Amino acid sequence: MDNGNHEEIESRMLDGNAMAGLLYELFNTEMTITSIECGTCGNIGELGSLWAFLESPGYVLRCPACQGIVLRMTVTPDEVYLDGRGAAYIRIPKRM
């Protein structure tokens, strides 16, 4: 990856906390602090620490260690498509 391309990527990048509202709406719990393991490299961190790209028709969360895609979401007027095949797991605390 050359520098120009890297700068372009960084300019479009947010962190996973940018998706906090949508994730809270979907799961009815604070998802940015949930633990998630990258299915590509095994990196474990909070969902909020993933790199978020929000400007396409959907949302893409990438691993900060290997840049692999961990989660994809597409929001339509009636539904949300969640593609989690890039995650080994997402650990969501149970609400008491």
Q: Pick between residue 58 and residue 68 the one whose CB is nearest to Zn ion.
A: 68
* Under 8 Å between Cβ of 48 and 20: yes
Q: Pick between residue 32 and residue 49 the one whose CB is nearest to Zn ion.
A: 49
Residue 33 CB neighbour total at 10 angstroms: 14
Q: Choose which of 17, 18, 26, 40 interacts with Zn ion (CB under 5 A).
A: 40
Q: Pick between residue 75 and residue 88 the one whose CB is nearest to Zn ion.
A: 88
Quick note: the x/- pattern for Zn ion over 43-62, rule CB under 5 A, is: x-------------------
* Under 8 Å between Cβ of 51 and 13: yes
Q: Cα(35)–Cα(2) distance, rounded to whole angstroms?
A: 32
41 near Zn ion (CB under 5 A): yes
Q: Cα(33)–Cα(36) distance, rounded to whole angstroms?
A: 9
Q: Which residues bind Zn ion (CB under 5 A)?
A: 38, 40-41, 43, 63, 65-66, 68
